[in-house]
Structure 1
Amino acid sequence: MAAAQDQVRVSSVMHVRCPDRLPGEVFRQVLELCAELSPTVQALPPSAALVELKGALRYHGTDAHHLGEVLRVRTLARLGIDVRCGIGPTITVAVTASAQIDTPGGVLAVDPDQVLDWLGPLPVEALHGIGPKQAAALREYGVHCVGLLAAVPPATVQRLLGGTAGRTAADRARGIDPRPVATRALPASASVRHAFVQHTLDGAVVRGALLDLVAQLGLQLRRRSQVARGLTLTLRFAGGTAWEKTRRLPEASAHEDDLRTLAYRLIDAAGLQRGRMTGLVLKGEDLVDADQIAEQISLDQAREDRLTAEAVSDRIRRKFGPGAIGPAAALRRVS
């Protein structure tokens, strides 16, 4: 009984690392599975999450490693994906542990009293938060593993990496990371972008690219079961200048008809004439879950037909890939 109470008193964090290029809707389902284990889940888009297990250990009456195995089994059985779960007393240890799992899926749990011994032999770049430039600076000084970084005086690390970065690295090498897991859902915005191969002045080409971005953004929102309350359009020009404007949608939506109408109003507001454009960014703002918005029943048969076609297009994209269907390309006369 005493051992179980000691285990509960120690913070236990699980870092869930999903496969790369995970669809947004599947990522949302992984977060829901994490929430079945603990109410404190922090989404780290596009494919990772943090789970605070401190209270969950007592609630489920088991240890952290077992909870990681439970999550793996559930994601495999329900979603067909295998996740990697790193578990430790701090966020740094948990994230570092999940990156050390070589197999496609697995669980690696580091006990609080083993943190320094486990971190010590790891290459310095394996420590969560140490980037390539910082690792190069440390190696040049002769610090090639986390154990040596922990042994170097913090003041020396600060001189090598800078004040705040050096202090943070020195603390994390010693297993110190006071950051809590903060409940955080999927981000409140989503963006898609297009870069032109050559600078363009052609308004038809720009509108064609914008139409494609509308289709991409709408598909992304519908996959995540979210709707946007506004759009932001950013136009990037040669020379590094940019133009940006945000407008609210009359009603929150993820349907291409609604997004396209507002996107065209935004680009019309830019008053383009002879500016050489290099790229476009379309962002859905103030996202909310679709089930929180009441959708008005439409008596417009043409609109209902378009929504039905949109649903069919989504099914085709899910089966054959996002590029399987999209806005019709402009026909060009071949001489």
Structure 2
Amino acid sequence: MFVSGEGPILHADLDAFYASVEQRDDPRLRGRPVIVGGGVVLAASYEAKAHGVRTAMGGRQAMRLCPAAVVVPPRMSAYSEASKAVFEVFRDTTPIVEGISIDEAFLDVGGLARISGTPAQIAARLRREVADRVGLAITVGVARTKFLAKVASGVAKPDGLLVVPPDAELDFLHPLPVERLWGVGRVTASKLRDRGITTVGQVAELGEPALVAMLGRASGRHLHALAHNRDPRPVHVGRRRRSMGAQRALGRGSRAAAELDADLTALVDRLTRRLRAAARVCRTVVLRLRFADYTRVTRSHTMAEPTAHTEPILATARGLLTSAMPMISANGLTLIGVTLTNLHTEGAVQLMLPFDEGAVGTLDATLDSVRDRFGSAAVTRAALLGRAQGIAMPLLPD
């Protein structure tokens, strides 16, 4: 892993990525509202967003908001190829690139002034290269810290460029709404706004003790630092994931316990295969649930020893789901997700007795071999036969 020195830092973020790829590849879609995905909105073009369509919204609601929208099925292979082409442009710009997702990254351009020009010139050139070589619009924010660079790109969207000079950081940041701070979601924003705190500047004026008393130690200290643009994190190259996750939107219909177990099983199967392919093991399993009223909860359990085997991870996830069933029955479930955290490199953690992996490891290895050779659908569990397994999103390497 390589860690950069101090910025300046670019945050480059492709605009409405999936929908933009569809508009690029089909000229008939350009300038029209486009929705990717049917039952659930996976992405929406800016023309559709102007009507209130948002990612993860139900398809029926999206069409009520924008009846003229064109709905297209997702093409994950096309999005993956576009992402690879964009990341080639990133790496041609600077060797210090930290991918965040398939459509955004941080780039450290410190030390490039003599050969590449100012950060603003580098960012402008990056945008032209992505447009010329990949055919997509990309927004770039430039600042001294990761946090502020990402805020700048968010303000500049769509298809924009915004540079925040070091001597004007707080002048830019403090008038923005509190929702621009990382970690401020609906609940935290509501707590702040209930107290008349609507801007980042007002958060900065509160002081750390007041924020800690209001939001808790971790969140209060975090927001106090960001409100003053204190973000010491450098751009990392080659850092491995600290977690792996997958989720599935379920719609608003009720689902039997057996159906939820099948959905959970499919998610765990997908994640444990990724774990083994990346030579990783995990200790903590997190179950994520979203209810019909859009509230969310998480439940987690840390296992006694790290593993990449499907059965112990699935058993842990099933235990979490069983304990959450009363809440699910009362509130209705619209999304289920699993995240594996506390990851380690396989072999870097001391094994516990007994050392013999037995049939579990053999079964996983055999299934992985068959799927690698004949495709992920070549062999599956009987409970999943005839069931749609959901869409596997393209990801950066694990």
CA contact (8 A) 2:178 2:200 kept: yes
Partner residue of 1:259? 376
Question: TM-score under structure 1 normalisation?
Answer: 0.60
Cα 1:254–1:49 shift into 2, 3 Å: farther
CA contact (8 A) 1:150 1:174 kept: yes
Distance 2:153 2:397 in 1: 30
SS in structure 1 of the partner of residue 235 of structure 2: coil
1:124 aligned to 2:178? yes
Structure 1 residue ranges without an equivalent (≥5): 1-8, 222-226, 290-335
Partner amino acid for 2:376?
Answer: L
CA displacement at 1:94 relative to structure 2: 0.4
SS in structure 2 of the partner of residue 136 of structure 1: helix
Partner residue of 2:289? none
SS in structure 1 of the partner of residue 142 of structure 2: strand
CA contact (8 A) 2:146 2:233 kept: yes
- 1:206-285 correspondence to structure 2 within 5 Å: 240-241=321-322, 247-248=364-365, 257-261=374-378, 263-264=379-380, 267=381
Partner residue of 1:325? none
Partner residue of 2:191? 137
CA contact (8 A) 2:204 2:224 kept: yes
CA displacement at 1:260 relative to structure 2: 3.4
CA contact (8 A) 1:14 1:85 kept: yes
SS in structure 2 of the partner of residue 17 of structure 1: strand
Deviations 1:244-298 (A, max 9, x none): 988235887976714334x43xx26xxx6xx9xx9968989xx979xxxxxxxxx
Partner residue of 1:18? 14
Q: How many residues align?
A: 253
1:52 aligned to 2:52? no
Identity %: 24
Q: CA RMSD in A?
A: 4.6
Partner residue of 2:76? none
Partner amino acid for 1:18?
Answer: L
Partner amino acid for 1:248?
Answer: A
CA displacement at 1:168 relative to structure 2: 1.2
Distance 2:390 2:373 in 1: 16
State which structure, 1 or 2, has the greater radius of gyration over its C-alpha atoms.
1
Question: TM-score under structure 2 normalisation?
Answer: 0.52
Deviations 1:82-140 (A, max 9, x none): 011011100110011111014x2111010111101111111111233322222221222
CA contact (8 A) 2:13 2:103 kept: yes
CA contact (8 A) 1:192 1:283 kept: no
Deviations 1:36-81 (A, max 9, x none): 1111111111421111111333442x11111111111111111111
Partner residue of 1:69? 124
Partner amino acid for 1:171?
Answer: A
Cα 1:131–1:46 shift into 2, 3 Å: farther
Partner residue of 2:224? 170
Cα 1:200–1:90 shift into 2, 3 Å: closer
